[in-house]
Each structure stands twice: as structure tokens, then as C-alpha cells.
Chain A
Amino acid sequence: MRSNPVYRRERAVRARSLRIPLIVFVFNGLLAAVALLGMYSAVEHVKASSFIQYSNFLQLYVFVVTLEFLMLIFIMPALTSGSISGERERRTLELLFTTRMPPSKIVTGKLCSAFGQLFLLIVSSFPVVVLTFVYGSMSVQDIGLLFLCYVTAALLTGGIGILFSCLMRRSTLANVCTYGVLLLLMAGTYMLNVFLYGISRTKADSMLPVAGQLRPAADSGAAVYLLLLNPGTTFIEILGSQAVGSVDGMLISSFLGNRPLNVVTGNWILVSLGVQLLLAVCLIWGAILLLKRRE
């Protein structure tokens, strides 16, 4: 990647800009403030009641990593959706097209630059996340899975951003479309499942009990598989496996009813991470093809 001119240029510009230190400061400042206030409250509760409620620290962990996840989800599209369209607006994209640099290098350079900024945010936030482990800890595997979830979500949202950046002439429009699709992917798929689950539940409740038969449990049907595309659901599943009981109502299992687990639902985290990585690769590939066609 160091040989990619676009990446090197972005890195050079970023290195002397005040924007990145400011984002790191605000991002970690917010995380630290939440973590320290949470800890202060938990410790004060211990002092007042002489009773240590360990679930408080677990909740604190859930809160901090969720905040981190949400920030990443919203920062990555902002970094990528204006990257190619910005070059077009500056009229530098056509200059790049007349050079010998292939479109794939332009896209990967931009993506890696945004990813580098995000990686900096994730790594710089580790000390704050570790604060929440003062009264407990977690395995390296758990940390690794959480990190993989962050990387996947960043690639997916970055892929959406860069695709729209190649597709749209204006950065503002690319931004709006990126966040629109992201909203559809995260809130849309989840709300669809909630809606279908609600209908199914109404149906199940209205059925008369038959002697000797279990009343069927409500589920959201095949729509649950749409959640494989939703990085938020994967993150919640990971949290559910690490901090048991903290996000119970939001887990996939609540949409499955009493259907037996299959390969996908039984290995939801890994399958959804795989699907999202594949989707991210497709989006990035799509962006490269679009740029090649416009070259």
C-alpha cells in the first residue's frame, strides 16, 4: 500500500492536518468521559450499598463498545463518500485518468486512507475500553472477534461510501445516498424483522389452543436472513455472547421463534461476518468497475 500514490498523498496531507488529532481527541474524550463517569457511578454505588454489582461493569463495557461501534459506523461513510466525488469536483480525477495509475489504485488508496484513520481511532481507544476491565477481563478471542466486527463494519460502510462516491458527481449527494443505504441496511432490515415478528405474533396469539399441541412461537420468517447484511445485528450478537443478558431482547434468537438452528443461524456471527466481508468486497469491486467505465 505504501507504493500507492493516492494513499501516500492522503497520508501526507492527513499527517499535517489538525483534523485527525481533533477527531481522535473528541472520539476518545467522549469514550473516556462515558467510561469514567460509569465507573464513578458504579464505585459510588458500591460505597453507598456495600454491595458490588458486577453487572454494572459489564453494562459499562457494553455501553463503551457500542458507542465506539456507532461512531465507527458513522465516521467511515463520511470519510469515503466524498473521496472520489471530491476528486471529480476539484477536476483532479480526470488528471489522474490521464496518468498511468489504474482506477483500482485510486479506489484502494482512498479506502486504505480512510481505513487507516479508522484503525487509528480503534487502536487509540483501546486504553479506554480496557478501563472497563478494571473489575474483570475478557479473552483475547473475544477482543479479536470484536476487532474483526469493527473491521468488517468499517469495510462494509466504507464500501458503500466509495461506491456512491464513484457513482455520484456531487459529494453531498454521495453522502446522502451512503447514509440512506446505511440506514436501510441497519434500521431497515431490523425494523422489517420487528414488523414481521409483530404480525406473526398477532397471528399466533389469535390461534385457539389445540389440546396436545404446542402453540407455534412467533418468528419473522425468511426475513431474518436479511439481518446477515446488518453489521449492527452482528455486533449485538457478539455483545450477547460476551456480556450475557445485556442485549437479550435484540438478539437474532428472538426472531427465530422455535425454529431449529441450521448452519447459518447456528453460526450467526461468523456467517454474517463472512457475508458482510463478501458484500464489502463486491461494493469495492463495483466502485473500481464504475471508475474504469468512466475512465
Chain B
Amino acid sequence: MLKIRGLKKKFKNFQVLDGLDMDIEEGALYGFVGPNGAGKTTAIRVITGLLRPDGGTVEIGGRDAFAYREQVKQEFGYVPDEFGMYDNLKVREYMEFFASCYGLDGLVARNRCMELLEQMKLLDKEDDYVDSLSRGIKQRLCLARAMIHDPRFLVLDEPTSGMDPRVRMEFTEILREMCAEGKTILISSHILSELSRMCTDIGIIDAGKIVLSGSMSEILRKVNDSNPLRIRLCGEREAAVDVLKEDRRVQTITIRDGDIVVNFHGDQTAEAELLARLIACGARINGFFREQGDLESVFMQLTNHEFQKVVFHSEE
């Protein structure tokens, strides 16, 4: 559905997008993640045609997004990070206004608006003024607005920021339903746990480039090998810590919930060696395992630019 190649964008001396490549398959719910200033919003603004890139190509639905701008506009719906509301319009009027912006008028527009308001559970709000709505309802309205012309592709820029957990859950459910209906969704967010639960695919952007991309399960499997080792001990742990400090494959050592958590770079053989050395030094080990990966740990690993030294740190 979306194919980006070598996208570049520079603001003054700051290279925001530096050869961004990205692919989103049809029907995917793609989480777009990155630290602040990584280029997420700029990339989204280029995809939606609000910014001209300095170089590179964007294809939506197989069409060049800049050469066929008018046709491509029909293909996507956009929900920006700030809603963009006409406060002095009623919910129905707001929807009908955007319907007419896509050339839908009369009964067709009215029926489409009602259909979407029902889908977003906003039918009881149709005669309310937009400025009287809560943030969560405004966001649902904004999503309904983006769907007014029945696009195949939805672009959402941090849609759940500032929402309480319940509203976020409801919103996530709506997105899942849409995805099940065959829509392709690109969603950027900072709430990684939420993305990991909802998305089928993920792309991590850093310094204007995609540093990791693929299906959610595939990424988690890949990063599990680089997840911290958790060592559970009975009794004294000083000797074990000394052994760990001496090992050059150990990057960080943290004491968490009584366990030693170690960032250890090595395969299963190296893990076995380490275990043997720990036992040899007299440590009484009753647990030695890799922590299960989550999106947050992947994100932290990929976007941490500072060289990590071997440190001993206790969280207790």
C-alpha cells in the first residue's frame, strides 16, 4: 500500500529524513515508532503531501504520491497530532463539510456521515457542537472525518496522546476493527506497549532512517537474543557480580527485585560458559534466563546512541 524509497528532507542545517525506506503491506496495522525529533511527523507530512521532500519517492496504492496527487488524496485519510476542529460547527455539520470537500453531497454524504458516526459510537452526539466534546470523542470524530471518503489507507499521527487508558483502549479496538475490514493503517505513537498489542508490523525510525522494520512477532524473536540475562541467586551475590564485572561481554549489571540483570552480548554457548564460571565461583544460582522481549526494550536498544560502559547499578 505504501512504498517509500530514499526519502530526504532537510530543514536549514538539520537533516530530518536521511534516505528513509519504508514498506507497508495492504491490510497491515503498522506502528511507526521513534524518539522525539527522529522524523516521524515529517515523514507523515511528506506521505500526506503536506511537505515536499528534497529527494526520494512515495508511492501510495501503486501511484506516485506527488505526480498523481489528486488521485492519491482519495486513497488516504489523515488524522494529525492536533485535531483541527471547527468549534462552531455541530458534529454532523463537521462531517458533512468534509464530505463535501471530497465531492460528496446530499443524501450520499448524509448517509455516509451517519454510517461513520454509528461506527464510532457518536450518533448521540450528532447535534452537539464540536467545542463541547471531550478529547477522546474529538479524536473519534477526527477518525470518522478521515474515513469520510472511504480511503484504503489511514495515516494517524500520535492519535492517542493525552488520552486516558480507557479511551485509548476503545480507540485501539476501533482501529483493530478497521484493520479487520481491510484498511491499512499507519499509526505513530509513543505508547509502545499499546502499539505492541495492536500492531501487526512495526517500523522504528531514528535520525531520519528506519533502523528496524518487520512484523511484530519477527522483531520480538530477533531481539530476544539481545535481551538482558536475569540471574537469580540464593544468598551472597558479591562473588557473582565480580565474575560478571570481569567478563567483557557484559555491558551493564543491574540489581532488580533481588535478581542480577545483565546486558550480555553472546549466544547460548557463551551463556553456558558464563553460567559455569558463576557456579565455579561459588554462587548459588536458582535462576538463569533471558528476559522476554518487548517493544520498549527494542526501542531503547535501537535508539540509545551513547556508548554503554560496564556499570554496576542497583535499583534497590
A98 contact from B49, B88, B89, B105, Cβ within 8 A: B49
Kindly report which residue of chain A lies nearest to residue B99, judged by CB atoms: A5
Tell me the bound Cα distance from A253 to B272 in angstroms.
104
Q: Is B165 an interface residue (CB 8 A)?
A: no
Q: How far is the CB of B303 from chain A (nearest CB, A)?
A: 28
For residue B192, give the distance in angstroms from its CB to the closest CB of chain A: 26
Whether B98 is near chain A, meaning CB under 8 Å from some CB there, is: yes
Number of interface residues, chain A, beta carbon within 8 A: 19
Judge whether A98 and B50 touch: CB under 8 Å: yes
Contact A100 B70 (CB under 8 A): yes
Residues of B within 8 A of A92 (CB): 84-86
Closest chain B residue, CB of each to CB of A4: B100
Q: How far is the CA of A25 from the CA of B78 in the complex (A)?
A: 42
Residue of A whose beta carbon sits closest to that of B105: A3
Q: Does B59 contact A (CB under 8 A)?
A: no
**Residues of A close to B49: CB separation below 8 A:** 97-98, 295
Does B226 reach chain A (CB closer than 8 Å)?
Answer: no
| Complex contact B80–A94 (CB within 8 A) | yes
Tell yes or no: B93 within 8 A of A by CB.
yes
Q: How many residues of B contact A (CB 8 A)?
A: 26
Q: Are A99 and B83 in contact (CB under 8 A)?
A: no
* B102 contacts the other chain (CB 8 A): yes
Indicate with 1 or 0, residue by residue over B174-199, a CB within 8 angstroms of chain A CB atoms.
00000000000000000000000000
Q: Closest CB-CB distance, A135 to chain B, in whole Å?
A: 46
Nearest B residue (CB) for A105: B101
Asked if B103 lies at the interface with its beta carbon under 8 angstroms from chain A, I say yes
- Tell me the minimal C-beta distance from A22 to chain B in angstroms: 16
Contacting residues, chain A, for B102 (C-beta < 8 A) = 99-100
Pick the contact of B84 from A13, A90, A295 — CB < 8 Å? A90
Q: Which of B12-68 contact A (CB under 8 A)?
A: 48-50
Interface check B290, CB cutoff 8 A: no
Which of B88, B89, B101 is the one whose CB lies under 8 Å from A101?
A: B101
Question: Assuming the A-B contacts A9-B89, A92-B85, are A100 and B101 also in contact, with contact meaning beta carbons closer than 8 angstroms in the complex?
Answer: yes
Partner of A99 from the list B80, B82, B88, B101 (CB cut-off 8 Å) is B101
Q: Which residue of B lies closest to A294 (CB)?
A: B50
Q: How far is the CA of A17 from the CA of B83 in the complex (A)?
A: 23
- What mask results when residues 85 to 102 of chain A are scored 1 for a CB within 8 Å of chain B, else 0? 000001110111111110
Q: Would you call A98 and B73 a contact (CB within 8 A)?
A: yes
Interface contact B80-A100, CB-CB below 8 Å: no
Contact flag A95-B100 (CB < 8 Å), given A9-B89, A100-B70 = no
**Contact (A96, B80) CB under 8 Å given A90-B85, A90-B86:** no
Question: Taking the complex as formed, is B299 at the interface, i.e. its CB lies under 8 A from any CB of chain A?
Answer: no
Of A8, A9, A90, most B-chain CB atoms within 10 Å: A9
Residues from 124 to 150 in B contacting A, C-beta threshold 8 Å? 145, 149
What separation, in Å, do the CA atoms of A100 and B77 have in the docked complex? 11
- What residue in chain B is nearest A8 (Cβ atoms)? B100
Determine if B288 is an interface residue (Cβ-Cβ < 8 Å). Answer: no
The answer to whether B74 has its CB under 8 Å from any CB of chain A is: yes
Question: A12-B93, A98-B49 given as contacts; is B84 within 8 A of A5 (CB)?
Answer: no
A53-98 contacts to B, CB under 8 A, are: 90-92, 94-98
**Once the chains bind, are B97 and A5 in contact (CB under 8 Å)?**
yes
Instruction: List, in ascending order, chain B residues with CB within 8 A of A98's CB.
Output: 48-50, 73, 76, 78
Q: In the complex, which of the residues A8, A9, A94, A100 contacts B50, with contact meaning CB atoms closer than 8 Å?
A: A94
Q: Which of chain B's residues 96-116 have a Cβ closer than 8 Å to chain A?
A: 97-98, 100-103, 105
Docked-complex contact B101 and A96, CB < 8 angstroms: yes
Question: Cβ of B80 and Cβ of A5 under 8 Å apart?
Answer: no
Point out the residues of chain B lying under 8 angstroms from A94, CB to CB: 50, 80, 84
| Nearest Cβ on chain A to B68's Cβ, whole angstroms | 12
Are A95 and B80 neighbours in the complex by a CB distance under 8 Å?
yes
Cα A8 to Cα B149 with chains together (Å): 19
Chain B residues whose CB sits within 8 angstroms of the CB of A97 once the complex forms: 49-50
**Considering residues A13, A99, A101, which has the most beta carbons from chain B within 10 angstroms of its beta carbon?**
A99
- The residue from A13, A91, A96 contacting B88, defined by CB atoms under 8 A apart: A13
Contact indicator A9/B80 (Cβ below 8 Å): no
A9 to B95, CA, bound (A): 11
CB contact between A9 and one of B70, B86, B103 (< 8 Å): that residue: B86
**Cβ contacts under 8 Å, A12 to chain B:** 89, 93
Given the known interface contacts A13-B89, A94-B50, the answer about A100 and B73 at a Cβ–Cβ threshold of 8 Å is yes
Chain B proximity of A29: nearest CB distance (Å):
26
Contact for B98 among A3, A8, A13, A99, CB less than 8 A: A99
- Roughly how many angstroms separate A98 CA and B50 CA in the complex, as a whole number? 7
Contacts of A99 in B (CB 8 A): 73, 98, 101-102, 149
Interface residues of B (CB under 8 A from A): 48-50, 70, 73-74, 76, 78, 80, 82-86, 88-89, 93, 97-98, 100-103, 105, 145, 149
**16 interchain pairs (CB within 8 A)?**
A5-B97, A12-B89, A12-B93, A13-B89, A90-B85, A91-B80, A91-B82, A94-B50, A94-B84, A95-B80, A95-B98, A97-B49, A98-B48, A98-B73, A98-B76, A100-B101
Q: Knowing that A5-B97, A5-B101, A97-B49 touch, tell me 11 more A-B residue pairs with CB under 8 angstroms.
A: A8-B100, A91-B84, A94-B80, A95-B80, A95-B98, A96-B101, A98-B48, A98-B50, A98-B78, A99-B102, A100-B73
